[in-house]
Structure 1
Amino acid sequence: GESGGFVSDSPGNPDKFLESGLFGVPELSCPEGFQEAQDKALQESEQLVQKACSTPPGPETVMIFDQLSDALCRVADLADFVKVAHPDSAFREAAEEACRNVGTVVEKLNTDVELCQSLRRLLADEVVMNSLDPETRRVAELFMFDFEISGIHLDEEKRKKAVNLNVRILDLCNEFLSGAHLPNKIDKHILPEHIRYNFTAEGNYLQVAGLHADCPDDLVREAAYKIFLYPNAEQLRCLEELLASRNSLAQLVGYDTFAHRALQGTMAKNPETVTQFLEKLSDQLSKRTLKDFEMMTKLKMKLNPQNSKLMPWDHTYYSGILRAER
């Protein structure tokens, strides 16, 4: 509904929902609450940074880093979800701003030399490290890994450049994802009159806001597919800048490509492993896929014999019918 009632002790009463706030967080009963939640998180993080830098090496150091991460991420992750999921644009915009501001602070902390030194002192102290349980030791190593891939080893000017690139990447990702959901407009006279009612009218234009993949009318699916997915110059510009920024960041912090940086420390390890996995998966699935396409083709011939060639806008619709029949 309009209230976006994810959590409410009275689902039928928006006022009750607004009192409790999003997810039961009182500050988030209105869009302005995101600023309040953000400011609280940033104040808490400032205190924790000072504490981390002044605490002698020990298990408490890891706890402080964990609290620091939690203070920032619990606001950033929640805002990251609300900025795409909330029906109210004021909530989405406030969440997006909070997400960007907290994300910027995270990137700055990932290149904070003094903060890194406090963790480095812990990792260099063998007596203390040997006294830590395996989970705590692993958490400490993961935090150090975040510093390393963010460019902590660079000089101050390059560290600032890395932060700026990270923030620019956050902005470009958001811009691209938002643009991917925007409807495309077309002069209504281009489409046959009998299918126009499927789309939202706006003067002499029709808005195509999705693929209409479940619509039984072939022509509606075809029109939606071709119009909604029509190349967009602004989206391509955004994507090209995003890829260039990712590449610049990766090379600045010492990686061949952004893929190498993104996969470092993961189960996949490197782009070569991912490529091998995808190729193997593709080989294994090809026979099954052909079988699925044969089934869809037969179904289309049965339901639409005069126009029986399987097209890209048919897959979701006919596979849905097959699943329903099963």
Structure 2
Amino acid sequence: MKNNFIIAIGLAAAFLQMPAPVSAQSSGASRQNPLLHKSSLPFGAPDFSRIQEADYLPAIEAGIKEQRENISKIVNNKKKPTFQNTILAYEESGNLLDRVSSVFFGLTSAHKTPVIAETEKKVMQQLTDLDNEISFNQQLFERIKYVYDNEYKRLKGEDQRLTEKIYKGFVRSGALLPTEKMERMKQINSRISELQQQWGNLLPAATNNAVVWVDSKEELAGLSEADIAQCKKDAEMRGNKKPYCIVIINTTQQPILASLQNRELRKKVFMASIHRADGTNPEFNTFPIVTELAKLRAEKANIMGYRCYAEYSLENTMAKTPTNVDNFLKQLISEYTPKADAETQAIEQYARKTEGNDFKLQPYDRFYYSAKMKKEMLNISDDEIKPYFNVDSVQKNGVFYAANRVYGLTFKERKDIPTYHPDMKVFEVIDKNGKPIALFYSDFFRRPTKRGGAWMSAFAKQSRQRHQLPIIYNVCNNAKAPEGQPSLITWDEVCTMFHEFGHALHGILSDCQYNTLSGTAVARDFVEMPSQFNESFASIPEIFDHFARHTETGEPMPAELKKRMLESINFQTAYALGENLASTCLDLAWHKIGVDKIPSPYMAGAFEKEQLHNIGLLNMQIPPRYSTTYFNHVWGGGYAAGYYSYLWTEVLAVNVAEFFEKHGALNPAIGQAFRDKILSRGNTMDQMQMFTDFTGMKSPDASGLLKARGL
């Protein structure tokens, strides 16, 4: 309802609670709680130099109290309901809670200390209770419905769109249900909130626990000295049980497997990844959470009159129905399958040249032999190219440079603005007319208090109504080099930085009246389009040459190495598509079945295998990118029945990139058109119409997707 739940965007999406309203007391007798008053820093940036962890709980509780008071004022207004006294009053009812919770839930994902975790436990039920109170407040809904029924057609532009979104949001939450069903919906919402909080605590703990301890440097043969140093540093950060450790990241496959020569260690790493949360260690079993969440979602959909949760969830997307998504995926699966089989066979045949004819390729071998094969065929390896991808150069000379060339933006580092962690950097974003338009924070390095993945969100969304410029941040999980050494990243991590900054641009360039409609508040199967499109700039020659410079000499990547590297981008790409398809179909499988068909926690693993088998994607060599027990997008984030949107929006992104290429990839006029017609518009109009307005296409064309992936 309203902004109480807004998705934190990225390769690993996260919940960001955004409720709302205004004024309050101090958190102690001796000092004022800085969260209770708008910051005096530029843009109203959160003043992390003054905020203490103990400030969040009283500030959130003050915001909850104020929102209740503001809702009460709307309900008790004796005047006839109007847009101004009902819709706009509701939109603005939660400024304080929006402001505080935006900061707090940034920390729960990126810097969850014990105090933050404890505070989260205390506030989640309070926020859910507030959401239920508002969602099922019949007097409030009657006023909103009156405006929708009597004033909607006379309203214009964003006023009309806001009225529609708020009214339909209440309806989708159950405002038209009979009393007994409303009560059940409240219970379901509360329990879902509890379970997602449990998930948010259990999965990071399981992933942290899944580290693989290593006795000696010799076992790490194949890794670079920098990677070995990182394993040593990771071990030190986790108590030095052994001299080295390998940290497990959020996905099934672990990039380190491409380099490890020790097959037994590769197997340990892979097994640690896939079994991190399936009860292999009884302390870490997310299946009970998964199955209960699936049941509650299915029941919620039934109460609302839908056959399954996927039908309910997809109604407000570009795809509209599960059938449309299924048809889209079936076409991709049929085209992909033979290419995947050929790719697997080629890797196994290559491995047998050195390992013998009876060698059976295992999933933990695939990255290793594929990397060796790529090295031999294209004479390229990550270790050869990583010195050209210094994280600072990628950001300033790549990500920022592309935004300057295309949109006219410049970035000025602001060391005077405090952050919640020393690794963060802050930049003022300046438009081509010299006017500051946003703050941008980057937090690129992994640490034990940060969940896995990469994402974008906002400490404050843009809103002309609130006189608020956007305060946007990107979070990644790159390895940080030892003190005094440059932090080098892989090409995949380069693309991730461009991807997340595409989301950031969607927030930075937003120009909307209302907070609810601004920035990335669009349909799930549109929100990934600007980010996936932004990845295309990474390999444009002018951009690439500007950031891909040797970290020691500053020399650009030699033309011959660059040619081999760019050729290698699409080397054996069936895997990446296959792991995504498998996860996408798993997500849909869990959300297309009724309450009575959802398996018990003990049978959930078998259900996963059965569903993958039924659609032809049960492939030991290409497991899902996220298996059920660690699929954070779906169980912890906002992507339930929506993970398909990464592939769907990739099609949109390919179409947009082709349009840019046709008219000049770095043409500022085309950049301005993209900004005007899409990036600045938020959710102020239908997203398919936005796509058509920019590209001239009536509908997306999927024919270029496999070609763009080199398939």
Indicate whether the TM-score tops 0.5: yes
CA distances 1:27-69 after superposition (whole Å, capped 9, x unpaired): 9722222113312321331233123322533331322222236
Amino acid in structure 1 at the alignment position of 2:325: V
Q: Are the equivalent residues in 2 in contact too, given 1:42–1:102 (CA < 8 A)?
A: yes
Amino acid in structure 1 at the alignment position of 2:56: F
Paired residues for 1:1-326 under 5 Å: 24-25=46-47, 29-53=51-75, 54=77, 56-60=80-84, 61-68=86-93, 72-125=97-150, 128-181=151-204, 182=206, 183-184=208-209, 210=248, 212-215=254-257, 216-217=259-260, 218-230=263-275, 231-232=278-279, 234-290=285-341, 292-293=343-344, 296-297=347-348, 300=351, 305=355, 309-316=360-367, 322=374, 324=382, 325=565, 326=568
Q: Are the equivalent residues in 2 in contact too, given 1:151–1:162 (CA < 8 A)?
A: yes
Secondary structure of 1:152's match?
A: coil
Secondary structure of 1:254's match?
A: coil
Aligned counterpart, 1:11: none
Once the two structures are TM-superposed, the CA of residue 134 in structure 1 deviates from its matched residue by 3.0
Q: Are the equivalent residues in 2 in contact too, given 1:301–1:308 (CA < 8 A)?
A: yes
Once the two structures are TM-superposed, the CA of residue 135 in structure 1 deviates from its matched residue by 2.2
Q: Are the equivalent residues in 1 in contact too, given 2:132–2:189 (CA < 8 A)?
A: yes
Q: In 2, Cα distance between the equivalents of 1:112 and 1:103?
A: 14
Q: In 1, Cα distance between the equivalents of 2:100 and 2:368?
A: 39
Amino acid in structure 2 at the alignment position of 1:266: T
Q: In 2, Cα distance between the equivalents of 1:177 and 1:87?
A: 10
Q: Are the equivalent residues in 2 in contact too, given 1:299–1:318 (CA < 8 A)?
A: yes
The structure with the largest helix share of the pair is 1
Q: Are the equivalent residues in 2 in contact too, given 1:201–1:207 (CA < 8 A)?
A: no
Amino acid in structure 1 at the alignment position of 2:81: P
- Over 3 Å counting, the alpha-carbon distance change for 1:129 and 1:154 in structure 2 is closer
Aligned counterpart, 1:12: none
Q: In 2, Cα distance between the equivalents of 1:269 and 1:294?
A: 38
Q: Are the equivalent residues in 1 in contact too, given 2:310–2:322 (CA < 8 A)?
A: yes
Once the two structures are TM-superposed, the CA of residue 268 in structure 1 deviates from its matched residue by 1.9
Q: In 2, Cα distance between the equivalents of 1:28 and 1:254?
A: 49
Q: In 1, Cα distance between the equivalents of 2:342 and 2:266?
A: 23
Q: Are the equivalent residues in 2 in contact too, given 1:123–1:129 (CA < 8 A)?
A: yes
Amino acid in structure 2 at the alignment position of 1:56: K
CA distances 1:205-236 after superposition (whole Å, capped 9, x unpaired): x9986265414333222112223422316321
Q: Are the equivalent residues in 2 in contact too, given 1:151–1:253 (CA < 8 A)?
A: yes
Secondary structure of 1:214's match?
A: helix
Once the two structures are TM-superposed, the CA of residue 130 in structure 1 deviates from its matched residue by 3.2
Q: Are the equivalent residues in 1 in contact too, given 2:212–2:247 (CA < 8 A)?
A: no
Once the two structures are TM-superposed, the CA of residue 192 in structure 1 deviates from its matched residue by 9.3
- Over 3 Å counting, the alpha-carbon distance change for 1:87 and 1:46 in structure 2 is closer
Secondary structure of 2:104's match?
A: helix
Amino acid in structure 2 at the alignment position of 1:103: T
Amino acid in structure 1 at the alignment position of 2:139: E
TM-score (norm 1): 0.75
CA distances 1:124-153 after superposition (whole Å, capped 9, x unpaired): 21xx32331132212212112221122212
Secondary structure of 1:29's match?
A: coil
- Over 3 Å counting, the alpha-carbon distance change for 1:300 and 1:107 in structure 2 is farther
Q: Are the equivalent residues in 2 in contact too, given 1:76–1:99 (CA < 8 A)?
A: no
Q: Are the equivalent residues in 1 in contact too, given 2:211–2:248 (CA < 8 A)?
A: no
Q: Are the equivalent residues in 1 in contact too, given 2:202–2:286 (CA < 8 A)?
A: yes
CA distances 1:59-87 after superposition (whole Å, capped 9, x unpaired): 31322222236654554454333222215
- Over 3 Å counting, the alpha-carbon distance change for 1:238 and 1:48 in structure 2 is same
Q: In 2, Cα distance between the equivalents of 1:291 and 1:120?
A: 58
Higher relative contact order, structure no. (Cα contacts within 8 Å, ≥ 6 residues apart): 2
Once the two structures are TM-superposed, the CA of residue 109 in structure 1 deviates from its matched residue by 1.0
- Over 3 Å counting, the alpha-carbon distance change for 1:80 and 1:294 in structure 2 is farther
Amino acid in structure 1 at the alignment position of 2:161: R
Q: In 1, Cα distance between the equivalents of 2:83 and 2:211?
A: 62
Once the two structures are TM-superposed, the CA of residue 155 in structure 1 deviates from its matched residue by 2.9
Q: Are the equivalent residues in 2 in contact too, given 1:28–1:34 (CA < 8 A)?
A: no
Q: In 2, Cα distance between the equivalents of 1:259 and 1:71?
A: 34
Q: Are the equivalent residues in 1 in contact too, given 2:124–2:193 (CA < 8 A)?
A: no
Secondary structure of 1:248's match?
A: helix
Q: In 2, Cα distance between the equivalents of 1:265 and 1:240?
A: 25
Q: Are the equivalent residues in 1 in contact too, given 2:129–2:190 (CA < 8 A)?
A: yes
Once the two structures are TM-superposed, the CA of residue 93 in structure 1 deviates from its matched residue by 2.9
Secondary structure of 2:364's match?
A: coil
Q: Are the equivalent residues in 1 in contact too, given 2:57–2:119 (CA < 8 A)?
A: yes
- Over 3 Å counting, the alpha-carbon distance change for 1:165 and 1:203 in structure 2 is same
Q: In 1, Cα distance between the equivalents of 2:187 and 2:265?
A: 44
Number of equivalences: 303
- Over 3 Å counting, the alpha-carbon distance change for 1:37 and 1:201 in structure 2 is closer
TM-score (norm 2): 0.37
Q: In 1, Cα distance between the equivalents of 2:370 and 2:201?
A: 28
Q: Are the equivalent residues in 2 in contact too, given 1:76–1:98 (CA < 8 A)?
A: no
- Over 3 Å counting, the alpha-carbon distance change for 1:42 and 1:319 in structure 2 is farther
Amino acid in structure 2 at the alignment position of 1:174: Q
Amino acid in structure 1 at the alignment position of 2:159: T
- Over 3 Å counting, the alpha-carbon distance change for 1:77 and 1:278 in structure 2 is farther
Secondary structure of 1:246's match?
A: helix
Q: In 1, Cα distance between the equivalents of 2:74 and 2:317?
A: 27
- Over 3 Å counting, the alpha-carbon distance change for 1:148 and 1:30 in structure 2 is same
Q: In 1, Cα distance between the equivalents of 2:308 and 2:50?
A: 39
Secondary structure of 2:146's match?
A: helix
Q: Which runs of 5+ in 2 are unaligned?
A: 1-33, 221-227, 375-380, 383-564, 569-711
Q: Are the equivalent residues in 1 in contact too, given 2:267–2:364 (CA < 8 A)?
A: yes
Secondary structure of 2:324's match?
A: helix
- Over 3 Å counting, the alpha-carbon distance change for 1:65 and 1:289 in structure 2 is farther
Amino acid in structure 2 at the alignment position of 1:29: I
Q: In 1, Cα distance between the equivalents of 2:110 and 2:369?
A: 29
- Over 3 Å counting, the alpha-carbon distance change for 1:109 and 1:295 in structure 2 is farther
Once the two structures are TM-superposed, the CA of residue 238 in structure 1 deviates from its matched residue by 1.7
Once the two structures are TM-superposed, the CA of residue 309 in structure 1 deviates from its matched residue by 3.9
